[in-house]
Amino acid sequence: MERQPEVARHRLAGQILDLIRDARLDVGTHLGEQFLGDLLDVSRTPVRAALALLAEHGVVEARRNKGFFLVQPPQSLNGVEIVVPSTMDQMLYDRMVRDRLEGVLPDSFSQAEIAQRYGLDRVVVVRTIARLAHDGLVARKKGYGWRFLPTLDNRSALRGSYEFRSAIEPAAILFRSFRIDGGVLDKIRMQHIRLEASPNFGTIDGSEFFEIDAAFHEMIADFSGNLFVLHAVQQQNRLRRLFEFGTYNNRKRVREWLREHLDIMEALVALDFTRASTLMEDHIANARSKALV
């Protein structure tokens, strides 16, 4: 079984590779560890490990006492893919989410029950439950055991959520208090562009898709200048977290909503709020039609 640090190293190497492509860096460019760490919000140590992996793939080379330098032009990197190794942790994570959505797992459970149900050792179970907790899917019970957090786990709740969001989110864009933060908008746009263009799209972890999806909708709500709208959208994101994690295997649909998000942001950049509002309404309607088939 691959260790978690190795998985993280592969994911980070893929992110750096995407940055190299997006920025169209010239051959010979010095890839500063501190700069990349600041950009990707990690320390220099994991960046160094990721660059070493890219060196193994012939993308960069390490020069003694000088660091890492790009040795391939961006246009030649389209066929390079950093495959994230699968882990028992990831397989258990995916299985628990799927089983919960299908009603197989109860509201509450213990580590021992999960280990027995799936035939896995305690270390894997502990790490997986910790990740589920970090992602906001489960929480520790008072006393002993764990519980799944409230979610949109039936058609009635899901339909109600989409109806509520259809009424709130498109309207918020037309509020007189709506103001765009250009720096925040540019950051979220670049994250979407990087994901959409990534050759590692099929192996990107579902949590990354959810976080960028949630960040987009909360950004729009924040721009509304209305705290009630922001709090409502944040609550909706918490409730839909488990359901959304179960949909990310459909990467065709993920590509569709990434493009829909980008279209909305392009309308915002053009200050065409009416179009942005209409596109948001269409986006939520599309999501609803896919979820309630």
What are the pLDDT digits (tens) for 243-287?
A: 676 666 667 888 899 999 999 999 999 999 999 999 999 999 998
Contact in structure between 37 and 51 (CB atoms under 8 Å): no
Q: Which tens digits make up the pLDDT trace of 129-174?
A: 998 887 777 899 988 899 987 775 666 777 888 899 999 999 999 9
Distance, in Å, from the CA atom of 172 to the CA atom of 264, rounded to the nearest integer, reads 13
The domain that holds 252 is classified in CATH as 1.20.120.530
Q: Which one has a higher pLDDT value, 209 or 184?
A: 184
pLDDT at site 55:
93
Distance, in Å, from the CA atom of 285 to the CA atom of 283, rounded to the nearest integer, reads 5
Question: Do residues 144 and 159 share a domain?
Answer: no
**Token pair recorded at residue 116:** 């027995």
pLDDT at site 276:
98
Domains contained in the chain, number = 3
- Is residue 83 assigned to a domain? no
Distance, in Å, from the CA atom of 124 to the CA atom of 87, rounded to the nearest integer, reads 9
The average pLDDT across 81-96 equals 75
For residue 82, pLDDT over 50 is answered with yes
Question: Do residues 120 and 160 share a domain?
Answer: no
Per-residue confidence at 32, pLDDT binned at 50, 70, 90?
A: very high
Distance, in Å, from the CA atom of 264 to the CA atom of 260, rounded to the nearest integer, reads 6
Question: Do residues 282 and 164 share a domain?
Answer: yes
Supply angle C-alpha 220, 182, 240, rounded to 5. Answer: 25
Per-residue confidence at 70, pLDDT binned at 50, 70, 90?
A: very high
The domain that holds 17 is classified in CATH as 1.10.10.10
- Is residue 213 assigned to a domain? yes
For residue 1, pLDDT over 50 is answered with no
Write down the residue that tokens 């993280």 correspond to.
8
Distance, in Å, from the CA atom of 289 to the CA atom of 274, rounded to the nearest integer, reads 23
Q: What is the mean pLDDT of the chain?
A: 86
Q: What letter represents residue 129's amino acid?
A: I
**Token pair recorded at residue 209:** 């898709």
Residue numbers of the domain that contains 215: 155-291
Supply angle C-alpha 117, 121, 127, rounded to 5. Answer: 95
pLDDT at site 136:
72
- Is residue 44 assigned to a domain? yes
